[in-house]
Structure 1
């Protein structure tokens, strides 16, 4: 099987992985941090800015796959500090319209590149 993948300009993987893999009906988007953007400034301590950059990166990859936020069915959010939940959530809720995708949010000890939030998604291609 040959993998069909999508990558986007302006985002760089921080390891040996593809930004998104097309599995037919479902497209799996790798986690993005604010630091996956080569032009990102140091946003340490600004969880709102980091969250927005995560979505900007993800939506750039989604464009390459001809998808929109309306196609997202599941989101996983990883935070290094649950005290940042409300601020992350304030940015998150502006990215989608109701009914919202399913979501999991968990606290983790650390994230790649010193990020404080990482977001990954699964989208379903419309027929």
Structure 2
């Protein structure tokens, strides 16, 4: 038996076309005021039906496009501010987030991440998984992606764009 070592992991979500419950095709979401993500083939979020898939975010200050300083705690705070902006652009909010995936480069930073995370969800936090990874882009300490429900009823405006 050969030893396998994973170098790349890609996760995708898909929906069946032709399902009578779908309200339309997936939409790519752009956050107002954020720079164009030239050279990065992904959206801040994508929506379909009543779901918003919020891309992995790092602690990047979108006004400067630079990673915030101070390590995992400040990075987590900025990451969740960016996730909040993505959720709002998708027509939802943090109170509708149902699941998050947290990637850390060092589990020793888990307490700092939890402290910042609890500021955004002081009660009824979403489900979550946290894993340690070898390295993140930009030498970030943390990356978080989330799934949110889009509330029924009058829809908040979505800011979409065409790639």
TM-score range for the pair, normalised by the shorter chain length: 0.7 to 0.9
Cα distance change of structure 1 residues 58 and 115 upon mapping to structure 2, 3 Å threshold: same
TM-score computed with the length of structure 1 as normaliser: 0.88
Unmatched runs of 5 consecutive residues or more in structure 2: 1-16, 18-24, 153-163
- Partner residue in 2 for 1:7: 30
- 4+ residue runs over 4 A deviation: 11-14
TM-score computed with the length of structure 2 as normaliser: 0.70
Q: Is the 8 Å Cα contact of residues 54 and 119 (structure 1) preserved in structure 2?
A: yes
Query: Quick check: which one's helix share is greater?
Result: 1
Distance 2:117 2:85 in 1: 16
Q: Is the 8 Å Cα contact of residues 29 and 45 (structure 2) preserved in structure 1?
A: yes
Q: How far did 1:113 drift?
A: 1.5
Unmatched runs of 5 consecutive residues or more in structure 1: none
Cα distance change of structure 1 residues 43 and 36 upon mapping to structure 2, 3 Å threshold: closer
Cα distance change of structure 1 residues 42 and 16 upon mapping to structure 2, 3 Å threshold: closer
1:72 matched to 2:69 = no
Distance 2:42 2:66 in 1: 23
* Matching residue within 84, 102, 118 for 1:93: 118
Larger Rg: 2
Cα distance change of structure 1 residues 98 and 64 upon mapping to structure 2, 3 Å threshold: same
- Partner residue in 2 for 1:29: 54
Cα distance change of structure 1 residues 42 and 123 upon mapping to structure 2, 3 Å threshold: closer
